[in-house]
Structure 1
Amino acid sequence: MRNGHGPRATGTPPRRAPSITALAWTALAGTLLLAHALPDDGPRGTTAARARPSSTRPVVPAARPLPDADPTRIRIPAIGVDARLTPLELDGTGALQPPPASDPTLAGWYADGTAPGARGTAVVTGHVDTPAGPAVFHRLDGLPRGTEIAVEREDGRTALFTVDVVEEHAKEGFPDDRVYGSSDRPELRLITCGGDWSRSTGYQANTVVYATLTGTR
């Protein structure tokens, strides 16, 4: 098992910030998500990452933002995700701490950023794999446009998001503003490792799901 490598940044984003800065990207693009060790006879290649069409135009109009409330669970029936959410914080180096690899079913949310369902850009991350094999976001890159994502919250509400687009971004030259930029509507980003795998540097890209709040129950 090896971690990827990414640039380091400094500073601390404010609590309930409308966006995540390059600081949080440090971990998401580099050290957050583990690369599954491959057999010695054939590591994946190191070709450039592939991006899907770049429009994030919502499938349906965004719903009214919800008040702040911590999320507790994420469900994506289309790919069999039903995962508890744990809050993630920055470590002493300014990198976002990952969900524990000891529980591959667990996902995490950036607790000092936007709460899922509130106005702005919320971020949820999860491992694509761990030493035990496939993890919570192993099938994230296969989500079609229009898929529903449900995030349960401590206030008893469930925020319903609709997938606008799924993209694969190379870690080198990652589009921070596009992924973490502020928004005047309630949006969600799901992030895991993706692309090709290098034995020396790990995964070469990140899979990013862009989704918009479209309902509540």
Structure 2
Amino acid sequence: MTEPRPFDRLGPPSWPAPWGILVLLLLAGLALIRNGSGEFDSGPPQPAPAAATGARSPAAPPGTAGAAPAALPASPAVRVRVPGAGVDAPVRPVGLDEAGWIDPPPARAPHPAGWFTGSPAPGTRGTSVLVRHVDGAQGPAVFHGLGAVEKGGRVEVARADGRAAVFTVYGVDVVPKKDFPARRV
């Protein structure tokens, strides 16, 4: 019988145990499931610094020269298009909920936007308010891309009377719901 060589007594090379590798893979898989892969974590687009409203005169947005266009007669909004954000959605009238917040339209297809009937109709004098969520439990909503709109972009609101109110974007702000500047709007 031959005498064992010194390395034969120590056993196989010291590789990690197969269960150790399985545990590491399982933990990595659980982390990805819990935290996501990061591929879709970015949220909605944020406005470019050049599109932020910053300091401006609310009465005369930059780039506007001469007199404002004549106001249109009141007519409900029926559709909103924002080409720079990929928005093309029907609009329905909305009011206030029990807590006094603007009640957004229901989150069902075709994901309409809402025109707050407590504000002037788009195209009439005053600030007209169109609402919709940016995202929800089902993922991105109709206004998800609004942060991508650049200064000078267009917003087109089709009205029930067949006319369109067309607006030029002079700034974009992102504010949390709890800090919504209702007085400014």
**Counterpart in the other structure of 1:40:** 34
Cα offset, 1:122, TM superposition: 0.4
- Shift, 1:40, TM fit: 3.3
Matched, 1:59 2:63: yes
Q: Distance in 2 between matches of 1:133 and 1:174?
A: 22
User: Is 1:142 the counterpart of 2:136 in the alignment?
Assistant: no
2:90 matched to 1:90? no
Count matched residues.
138
Is the contact made by 1:86 and 1:106 (CA closer than 8 Å) also made in structure 2? yes
2:84–2:148 Cα contact (<8 Å) kept: no
SS at match of 2:129: strand
Consecutive unaligned residues of structure 2, counting only runs of 5 or more, are 1-32
Give the CA deviation at 1:106. Answer: 1.3
Corresponding letter in the other structure for 1:113: S
Distance 1:68 1:100, change over 3 A: same
Where relative contact order (Cα < 8 A, 6+ residues apart) is larger, the structure is 1
Which residue does the alignment assign to 1:117?
123
CA distance in 2, matches of 1:152, 1:59: 24
Distance 1:120 1:96 in 2: 17
Counterparts in 2 of 1:147 and 1:97: CA distance versus 1, 3 Å: same
CA–CA distance in 2 between the matches of 1:132 and 1:111?
Answer: 27
RMSD over aligned Cα atoms = 2.7
3-state secondary structure, aligned to 1:98: coil
Unmatched segments (≥5 aa) in structure 1? 1-38, 181-217
Normalised by the size of structure 2, how large is the TM-score?
Answer: 0.65
Larger radius of gyration: 2
Partner of 1:30: none
Q: Choose between structure 1 and 2: higher helix proportion.
A: 2
Q: Pick one of 99, 103, 108 that aligns with 2:109.
A: 103
**Alpha carbons of 1:104 and 1:162: their partners in 2 closer, same or farther (altered >3 Å)?**
same
Identity level (%): 41
On the 8 A contact 1:152/1:159 being kept in 2, the answer is yes
Query: Does 101-110 or 144-153 show the bigger shift?
Result: 101-110
Bigger mean CA offset, 87-96 vs 113-122: 87-96
- Matched letter for residue 155 of structure 2: I
Once residues 53 and 168 of structure 2 are traced to their aligned partners in structure 1, the CA distance between those partners, rounded to angstroms, is: 17
